[in-house]
Amino acid sequence: MIARYTLSCLDLPSASGLLRDYPRRVDHKAITDDVWRHYDRSTLVYDVVHLAGAGVVRLYLPRMLNLGVLLANAGFALDGRPGKPLRHRVYRRFETMDLRCSTANVRTLGLILPQLGRFDLPVSTTSEKMFSGRRVIYTLLHNENLEWVQDWMLFHNRMHGADAALIADNGSSSYTSEQLLHALQAVQGYDATAVLSVPLPWGPRGRGRGVDDGKFLQTTLLNLTRDRFFGTACGVLNLDVDEILLRRREQSAFDKAGRLGFVTFPGEWRYPADDKRPVRHRDHRFFDPADKPCATKYCYRPRSFFGRMCLSVHGLERVNRKLFLAARDFVFLHCRNISTSWKYDRLKVASPRMQPDSEAAKAFDSVFDERRSHG
C-alpha cells in the first residue's frame, strides 16, 4: 500500500497585517532577523481532522499566543451547520480545538474570523486502515539524501521488524514527493509506505532549548500523525533519519513498548573514520568517550494509556522520560555526518582519541552486507 497525504492548513492573509509574536518569556531584543525569518508568524491552522471515534472534528494549531483572540471570537460551521466548540487544549508547543460532530461524514469546516471573513477548509479523514496492526517508523525530514532514508528504513526492518513507514516531508527541494515515495517503495520488507506533505516553517534554526524556542511544527506533527494515521497501529518508532536504533537483546523496540505502551532509549554520537563522500550510516563506527548522551527517543503503542498522552520530541510532555528508559536493551546511534547541516555545520570525523564500536560494526555488517549480497 502506498499513499500521499496533505494537510488542511490555513495561513493568515498578508493583507490582514496580523502576525504571531514570539513567546513572551523571550527577550525580544535578543531575537535576530534570521530567527524571525524562520519563525512561523502566520500559520493559523496546521490540519483539521475528523476523529469519528471520538465524535469530534479536531483543529491542530501552532501556539496561538497573541493570535488567540481570533479563535476566541471565531465562528465555526461543519458542512454549513453551526459547529460547537467542545474543548480547547493548550500544550507547550501546540494547541488543539475540538468541535462536537455526531455525523459519520463531514467534508468542510467553515471558520469565520472577525474582520477577516470566512475560510472553508477541507476536513481530513483518519487513515488508520493503512497502518492497522503495523510496526511503523516515522520521521520528519527536509532534503535528506534518499539513500540515507532507504538505509534507515532497511536497518529498522531488519533489526526491529518495522513494516510500515510514514515520512513527513517538510518542503524538500532536492526531490518531489513522488520521488520520495518511489524511494520508499524500493525498500524491501515494507507493506505500507506513505508521504505526508508538510510545506510549513520548521522554526528557528539552532535556537536554544526549551519550550520558548519558537518550534511548534515537529511536536504538533507527532500528535497529529498519531491521531490521524496510527490509531490502530501495533507501534510507532520515532527517530530521525540520522538515528539508528541498536538492539542489544532479542526483543525489538516494538515488543518492548508493548509492556507499558511506551519505551525510551538513550542516544550516543557516532563518527565515520574519514570525510569520504558519499557517507552512509554504516561508516559511523567510532565513538568519543567524552561525549555527553543525546536526548532520548522512543517507541509507543498508540492504543495504550501512555501512548495516548501528549507526545514531545524526546518523550511525553510533563512526564519524566527516565521512567521508561531501556538503556540495557537499546541505544540509538546518532550518526554525525548523516546531515545536510541545514541547522548548523556539524560534520566531524573520528579523531585519535576516539574508539571503534564493535557492537555497531557488527550490526551494520549484518544488515548492509546482507543487502549487498542480495543486490
Coil, strand, or helix at residue 140?
strand
Determine if residue 35 is left, alpha or beta; phi over 0 gives left, psi from -120 to 50 gives alpha, anything else beta.
Answer: alpha
39 is a domain residue: yes
Alpha helices in the chain (DSSP H): 33-38, 68-72, 128-131, 146-160, 177-185, 217-229, 253-260, 358-364, 370-373
Task: Tell me what pLDDT residue 25 has.
Answer: 64
18 is a domain residue: yes
Q: Tell me, what amino acid is at 288?
A: D
Cβ atoms 226, 364 nearer than 8 A: no
Task: Tell me what pLDDT residue 23 has.
Answer: 79
pLDDT tens per residue across span 172-221 = 999 999 999 999 999 999 999 999 999 998 888 755 555 667 789 999 99
Which residues are registered as beta bridge partners of 20?
none
Coil, strand, or helix at residue 86?
strand
Which residues are CB-contacts of 294 (< 8 A; sequence separation ≥ 6)?
266, 267, 268, 269, 332, 334
Task: Tell me what pLDDT residue 30 has.
Answer: 67
166 is a domain residue: no
Helices then strands (H, E): number in the chain? 9, 22
Coil, strand, or helix at residue 143?
coil
DSSP state for residue 142 in the 8-state scheme: S
Task: Tell me what pLDDT residue 239 has.
Answer: 97
DSSP state for residue 307 in the 8-state scheme: G
Q: Tell me, what amino acid is at 208?
A: G
Task: Tell me what pLDDT residue 73 has.
Answer: 92
Task: Tell me what pLDDT residue 115 has.
Answer: 85
The domain total for the chain is 1
2 is a domain residue: no
95 is a domain residue: yes
Task: Tell me what pLDDT residue 243 has.
Answer: 96
C-alpha span between 193 and 248 (Å, rounded)? 27
Residue entry with cell 513527513: 168
Task: Tell me what pLDDT residue 57 has.
Answer: 96
319 is a domain residue: no
In the chain, the N- to C-terminal Cα span, in Å, equals: 23
- Helix/strand/coil (H/E/C) assignment for every residue in 234-300: CEEEECCCCEEEEECCCCCHHHHHHHHCEEEEEEEEEEECCCCCCCCHHHEEEECCCCCCEEEEEEE
Task: Tell me what pLDDT residue 21 has.
Answer: 87
pTM of the model: 0.92
Strand order in the sheet with 108-113: 81-82, 75-78, 108-113, 117-122
Task: Tell me what pLDDT residue 193 has.
Answer: 97
132 is a domain residue: no
72 φ, ψ (degrees, to nearest 5): -60, -30
Task: Tell me what pLDDT residue 152 has.
Answer: 97
How many other CB atoms are there within 10 angstroms of residue 104's CB atom?
7
Task: Tell me what pLDDT residue 214 has.
Answer: 78
How many other CB atoms are there within 10 angstroms of residue 314's CB atom?
14
What domain range is 46 assigned to? 7-125
92 is a domain residue: yes
Task: Tell me what pLDDT residue 228 has.
Answer: 97
| Mean pLDDT by groups of 10 residues along the chain of 375 residues | 94 90 70 78 95 95 93 94 93 95 93 93 93 97 94 96 97 93 95 96 68 84 98 96 93 91 95 84 92 94 95 92 86 91 64 88 88 46
323 φ, ψ (degrees, to nearest 5): -65, -25
C-alpha span between 208 and 227 (Å, rounded)? 29
C-alpha span between 78 and 103 (Å, rounded)? 10
CATH number at residue 53: 2.60.40
